[in-house]
Structure 1
């Protein structure tokens, strides 16, 4: 997706600047060309030599360098890129961007371009939450600047909260989304995948038999069609897809929270095999056998993620797609499930052991909608994903 794309990478001064080295490496690995620009403060954290060596291209630093102006003027430098990425984007540089300052090479490049800009903010939590910064953020978004992150977590200063720069893999995914071409460009889609693990004690859990293969294929295909995909996955066996924002969860409750945090979205595809129940009061230590006595477990119902999103009074996606893994009366049970949950489509399949679908490479599904039940032939899970993604693109117009 990034083959021969030109990225102008502006690195500003913050402790997160070290991540820019890995970002360059990942972009080059995907075939992108990276032209690095360092602010003066960035050189306190990474060296022009290391940046240039990884990018295999000169690192630009000084606005008033006559040699640079003769070879590649700053106006041309800012306009020859397919995308300008600022990572990390400090509070200072974001303030300059929001207010039109141009007192160094980085800020001048950002002001002298009509190329799309993607920024990865990184700063102290109090700086991020400050009213002045929030005004700058609102201005930048209104100006069309795209954001990736910041994430929530521990700060180098010892505080905790939003302000950590997004990880390089997340930034790469955001870059791919910015540069994507396809019918789903500009659409945000949430995809759930894999099983959930509901703990009994620290070593035992309740789960469903799901490899995550179908959900992973759907997320990957939607991203290839240009969608911004939030991929919420339980502990699945499948390698995670590239080009998506990945949220790892363990339990149904965590998956519900992650899905809620990802809203609003244009569409949601719930391919995860979520455990219907969880154990009340899971033990904090391993439950030991006691003279053959069988422990008594009590259960509570897990949140119904599909129904919650389908029946939401606000932020409901235009299209909600559920999955129904059945062993008997597939069409009848899945049709009832669609009406009960309130979703637009149900993708149903027969997961009886003799089908080999659960954990296998192929699938045979029935798409149930207002138009009735449409039986698809048995095909690879990648092919199912392609066909479903095309249907989603058509439904979203």
Structure 2
């Protein structure tokens, strides 16, 4: 008997066709020209990453310092981006009757003809707070690196966005009544639990922002009815920066977007533009990777990050035959783990927002340990993630033909500084 597709499957298929039709891939030339972070991810002096590598518990001086780091970067480097703060307070199990302040930063760039309610936005997200216990926890993968990556992405596409929108205006394609997409970045506060991860002791900032966006109604004639509905895709980065990550596809409805990002990764690797690939290819690195994998498997009894106590811990991804980050590009069915990991996406997903969750499973071995610091990052992997997320964002925003292809990386795949010199690395950056 022939299998008859369900109505739901048919709708997913139509959605895939509709969304994929508006997605344009980058050429080989554009992919080769994607900038890496160079020395800006130096853990001691890098202007993007190093200021985030400090304890940043909500409401503390460290948290305020990191907020100011984000604001200063966009004000001075990317002044065309709009900066908004969304504030809330909440009591926590650790503070009793004392309210803790939470500050979300929304950084956006829209077409010049933008009118509220008429443009959708690709939404790139990471949390910037760190655990309150153990004291002094830095949270490099959790989630300083994802924040630095999003700053790098914004800087890398800024000129191309301007060029694209100027051309659209020159061609008369700037009608405010059409859905011309912008991009926004959420730096979310209060993701971490203060005591034990529960629905109420976690994602404080995300819960507040999702509720506020849902209640902010646009005019009746608008294309979108509230700020929440303008999110075309919610791309959440978390726990990035450790060596040999495996990121599954969590949601069937956004598997097509996962496949697009996986395609970018595949092409970057084929052009030898992934620094971690060269390391993984060496016998020594392969042996080290095997030992690390074995160690992770033997210690898997530890509780999983942001997983409800009533749910099973996500199992380790199937054995890989290569070193790719996005391991399930060929997935066609089976088990989807999207409901098993709690994170900042949940308040948005519960309100109908489509989510692409980029988080390794299993979690890095440094997760919620004092070892989650700059010295334990794998810098080639960090660089690769920054280039991959930039490439995906550039494709989503249809920036082919507008990316700067005159500034290319050095022939060996290492990024050059803005003045053409080679960046230096100190010993603290080595894995």
> TM-score with structure 2 length normalisation?
0.27
Q: Which has the higher contact order (CA 8 A, sep 6+)?
A: 2
Which one has a larger percent strand, Structure 1 or Structure 2?
1
Instruction: Report which of the two structures shows the higher radius of gyration computed on alpha carbons.
Output: 1
> TM-score with structure 1 length normalisation?
0.29
